[in-house]
Structure 1
């Protein structure tokens, strides 16, 4: 049994906590009330209490040393969250990131000790919070764990065994490729559903075809510049498959815009735009969608 700290009590953080609590002691760092019980709900089954201890920033010093810290906050919040937790990390703590979009891995690696391993966990599990205390598990999918520094690559099998209660968990030796493939799905779905206020499945309508193709074409040019082997036809197939599997779901960016929260657009279209400038590749469609989401967020 390991002591695991989950940083962030959004839908994915609560889903992972529910699965991991079957074999581990789970602590969830939250900015909300720590005395409230959180529940997991799947399909028509009765809700289950999530067996975790909710703690505040002030309580971190009173907890046992953590073997694993899993960051499930949005991409833009990772650096601040890491700074808050850093004083309480052990010399051999396993650190896992799980968010949409790119970024953070390089910056975090520079801040770790030589004994700390860094991983990325990408997931297709779907869920949403129907209220602040209940997470609805709305879709099954594969979760992939990969090492982001040399020590993590050496230890990944051991860590994956500790995390085995996460459904459909596999290990990858090329997590950067998988992260970029997931980025392409995010580009195709998240900003457009947020911009047009629609469910994921509605993007399969013909009027969105050209936008999706243009966005992913630019992103595939960036992938080539980064020496990643990603073909446009494969990116389109993955994106439309996710649209079908999550047809009745609203994307996380849709929900962020709807509730006037900061979005992960800078780690999605913003990443493509940034890489385009670095590699002298034009990305007008991602640039335009980035600007529209930023304007929509700031206008509301």
Structure 2
């Protein structure tokens, strides 16, 4: 079996690493050619938080820049880029009239609707990933910071290939499964992210601070309550995610810290569009959304 993974960030490299451990050939498509050269030369390093020694994976790995995209010999495609780069990736995939299943492992919502328009012939799968991952600064690789699950489900069309892929990953110790109602799971993850990401980004704190600091917790609960107007979910779900990732920085926290554009449009922006359709007001979510957008606009002033 051979899969293409588009996006060599933390999630893309984590999925690639466990696919390689499962004996699956991986074509890892990177944004920068330099990264693909380093991966081909040194392999992909996987560091697991409960193990002392890094594991270097090279057998079955082929890295190349996305500009060299090809569908030859592929059984499935995994897209794990930021929402900001999705349109570019969909443009590349649509030109090749791809027909193998495409699994999207992205934050936020709205990307599956875009994929349906761009990719007419391929089975499409949404997914929710709760495994913790962080780019390694010492190696060309990834740190598996916490075990979670990867749940994928059909958005359009069915494929036994995806079921086989998830089974192989599960056997390799990467908890994975196929699920029926993937849209509901994606919405719930979006709602949790909408509580955690903007607040930790604005406060510049680790996830755990949203429970440890009483004032932060009060604000988090208020945001949670407002989001339930459009997506029903439980505070216990938010607490569980925070507890499991308490030592982690959210992706939005890191984007703000490093002066990068965030995925706020696909998270709080998506919620605000839902609220508008349902004629619901969400002043706290609106405040968070515009605060993050305001910080992004200030980057140019600071440079």
Q: Which residue of 2 aligns with 1:120?
A: 126
Q: Contact between 2:82 and 2:107, CA under 8 Å: does it hold in 1?
A: yes
Is the 2:14–2:133 contact (alpha carbons within 8 Å) kept by the matching residues of 1? yes
Structure 2 segments unaligned to the other structure (5+ residues): none
Equivalent residues in 2 for 1:1-300 (5 A)? 2-22=1-21, 23-32=23-32, 33=34, 34-37=36-39, 38-43=44-49, 44-51=51-58, 52-61=61-70, 64-88=72-96, 90-91=98-99, 93-114=100-121, 116-131=122-137, 133-149=140-156, 151-152=157-158, 157-161=163-167, 163-164=169-170, 165=172, 167-204=174-211, 205-223=213-231, 230-231=232-233, 234=234, 236-300=235-299
* TM-score, length of structure 1 as denominator length: 0.89
Q: 1:158 to 1:18 in 2, by over 3 A?
A: closer
What is the CA deviation profile of residues 157-204 of structure 1, one whole-angstrom value per residue up to 9, with x for unaligned ones? Answer: 445335444611122111111111111210111111110110010111
Superposition misfits of 4+ residues, deviation over 6 angstroms: none
Match of 1:227 in 2: none
Distance in 2 (CA, whole Å) between partners of 1:259 and 1:179 is: 27
Please give the root-mean-square deviation of Cα atoms over the aligned residues, in Å: 1.9
Give, in whole Å, the separation in 1 of the partners of 2:68 and 2:159: 32
Secondary structure (helix, strand or coil) at the match of 2:136 reads strand
1:160 and 1:89, CA in 2 relative to 1: closer, same or farther beyond 3 A? farther
User: CA–CA distance in 2 between the matches of 1:86 and 1:295?
Assistant: 34
* Aligned counterparts of 1:203 and 1:106: Cα–Cα separation in 2: 32
**Which is further off, 192-201 or 151-160?**
151-160
Q: Quick check: 1:20–1:166 contact (8 Å CA) kept in 2?
A: no
CA distance in 1 between counterparts of 2:161 and 2:193 reads 29
Q: Compute the displacement of 1:287 (Å).
A: 0.4
